[in-house]
Amino acid sequence: MSKIEDVVSLCKRRGFVFPGSDVYGGFAGTWDYGPLGVILKKKIMDEWWEFFVESREDMYGVDAAILMNPKTWVASGHTATFADPLVECKECKSRFRADKIADGINESVSTEEFLDLHVKCPVCGKENWGPIRKFNMMFSTHVGAVLPDDAGDLAEKSIAYLRPETAQGIFTNYRNVVDTFYPSLPFGIAQQGKAFRNEISPRDFILRDRECSQMEIEYFVKPDTWEENFEKMRGIFHEFLNEKMGLDASLIHELEVAPEDRAHYSKRTIDYMFDYPNGTEELMGLAYRTDFDLNNIARESGKSMDYRDKVTGETFVPHVIEPSIGVERLFLAVLSNAYTEDMVGDDKRIVLKMPENLAPYKFCVSPLLKNKIELVEKAREVYVLLREKYSNVTWDDSGNIGKRYRKQDEIGTPKCVVIDFDTLEDNSVTVRDRDTTEQIRVKIEEL
């Protein structure tokens, strides 16, 4: 298993992930994606969308606004309950999420329970804590022409929130989808997009940050069929993670979440845990949300969320199965699963053995020597040919051929195509395999 420091170093060195606002010294809990990170992230999201939406007849996509009517978060319970236990060290004034610096406790921990554990401050090493307070993690902002000195009703009515999850954008569009498409049950509505959480202490690289991307489905079912649909979705996600993302099945573990640890809306939750380099953490969740959200929307909006069955004519509020996955968590799982150190002869190398469908580049094209114009011209011909066919192809003529191989190994390029003097004679090229390092000769038209 790789070390998290090695993965972070590779991400910065090869242009996958950079610290947010790095030139200004960074900004806690934010990360920027470089040229290769953008490609990998998009491929992950595209694979998810194709697998769960485009290849199915029972899925519909939406793209809801990030800023939503504040009533949304009252109805969902986020205004009242979306809070983490904050504790402050009286010595150095550092603030932490209590359940993340102590073992054996959850989000509902009391001050007394926390103090009984005799936790030392991770910053100053002292044990002098204030009381645990609930900290709401939603980012608030003001919408409209509100000035700094405005107060009272004007300021209060202008408050809105950056959405803490993409799910509510799906629920608020449930009625629109039903009225315009009238789908048969069961059916799902999917969304990908940004979510924002004011984490008390962002940490663990991109695992816990303040701005993230989510991929969520709300799958609407008849109330008495939720269990069979839950089990179907449970198996489908294992298939996606194993076959499409290339994750080692032995690194994925299901955790049946206890009632006291479940979200307020859930009657059953399974967390898919993944063995990251820095420990086992949640990769995604599968929750049974019942009719909690739709009933709350009906109450707050005064509009019916009923669904009329096409066959029986029965009218009811559907129940919901929700699979939710963070793109950044999946991104890190793919990278850490692929990160490998091995030996090629007497040399140690780093290689990302990721699936070809996710590799940022499918091919790297190189002339054997960059100072031989005839090789460079022929290599450019092959490069253009492969780009037209596959699009995600890169060019590299820097350094000697061995260094180029090592660079492409580190970024996960499956095949390196080298144009040499034999190419000028027989129109064949050397193709080197990333994982085995074996080389074969192939005719250009067969690439």
The answer on 326 and 366 residing in a single domain is: no
Q: Which residues contact 329 (CB under 8 A, 6 or more apart)?
A: 206, 207, 274, 281, 282, 283, 284
Structural domain that includes position 386: 361-446
Q: Maximum distance among all alpha carbons in the chain?
A: 82
Task: Name the residue among 68, 306, 280 with its Cα closest to residue 169.
Answer: 68
Q: Give the pLDDT confidence score for residue 155 in this predicted structure.
A: 60
Confidence of residue 57 (pLDDT cuts 50, 70, 90): very high
409 backbone dihedrals φ, ψ, rounded to 5°: -60, -45
Confidence of residue 114 (pLDDT cuts 50, 70, 90): very high
351 within 8 A of 340, measured Cβ to Cβ: yes
pLDDT above 70: residue 404:
yes
Confidence of residue 307 (pLDDT cuts 50, 70, 90): very high
pLDDT tens, position by position, 365-384: 999 999 999 999 999 999 99
The answer on 190 and 243 residing in a single domain is: yes
The answer on 370 and 320 residing in a single domain is: no
Q: Give the pLDDT confidence score for residue 202 in this predicted structure.
A: 81
* Model confidence pTM above 0.85: yes
**What DSSP character marks residue 309?**
-
The answer on 220 and 325 residing in a single domain is: yes
| Residue 128 covered by a domain | no
| Residue 182 covered by a domain | yes
| Residue 224 covered by a domain | yes
Q: Which two tokens stand for residue 139?
A: 């980012």
Quick one: angle between helices 4-14 and 327-338, nearest 10? Answer: 100
Q: Give the pLDDT confidence score for residue 153 in this predicted structure.
A: 64
Q: Which two tokens stand for residue 338?
A: 């692929």
The answer on 303 and 210 residing in a single domain is: yes
| Residue 207 covered by a domain | yes
The answer on 422 and 280 residing in a single domain is: no
Number of structural domains the chain divides into:
2
Which residues are 419's β-sheet partners?
367
Angle at 341 between CA 338 and CA 15, to 5 degrees: 60
pLDDT more than 70, % of the chain = 98
100 within 8 A of 85, measured Cβ to Cβ: no
Give the separation between CA 88 and CA 132, rounded to whole angstroms. 8
Q: Which two tokens stand for residue 105?
A: 């406790």
pLDDT tens, position by position, 239-291: 999 999 999 999 999 999 988 888 878 899 999 999 999 999 999 999 999 99
Q: Which of 38-42, 83-87, 141-145, 170-174 has the lowest mean pLDDT?
A: 141-145
Please report, for the domain that includes residue 374, its CATH number: 3.40.50.800
The answer on 242 and 201 residing in a single domain is: yes
| Residue 199 covered by a domain | yes
Q: Which residues contact 234 (CB under 8 A, 6 or more apart)?
A: 270, 286
The answer on 272 and 416 residing in a single domain is: no
- Picking from 300, 335, 370, the residue at the C-terminal end of a domain is 335
Confidence of residue 151 (pLDDT cuts 50, 70, 90): low
The answer on 261 and 192 residing in a single domain is: yes
| Residue 202 covered by a domain | yes
The answer on 229 and 283 residing in a single domain is: yes
Average pLDDT over residues 65-74: 93
- Picking from 335, 351, 371, the residue at the C-terminal end of a domain is 335
pLDDT above 70: residue 154:
no
Please report, for the domain that includes residue 33, its CATH number: 3.30.930.10
Query: What pairing do the DSSP bridges indicate for beta strands 319-326 and 211-221?
Result: antiparallel
The answer on 433 and 294 residing in a single domain is: no
The answer on 274 and 376 residing in a single domain is: no
Confidence of residue 145 (pLDDT cuts 50, 70, 90): confident
Confidence of residue 316 (pLDDT cuts 50, 70, 90): very high
48 within 8 A of 32, measured Cβ to Cβ: no
How high is the mean pLDDT of the chain? Answer: 93
| Residue 23 covered by a domain | yes
| Residue 304 covered by a domain | yes
pLDDT tens, position by position, 327-379: 999 999 999 999 999 988 888 999 999 999 999 999 999 999 999 999 999 99
CA distances from 118 to 94, 102, 109, 226, 427 (A): 17, 9, 14, 43, 72
pLDDT tens, position by position, 213-237: 999 999 999 999 999 999 999 999 9
Residue 163 CA, distance from chain mean position: 16
Confidence of residue 137 (pLDDT cuts 50, 70, 90): confident
Give the separation between CA 269 and CA 230, rounded to whole angstroms. 10
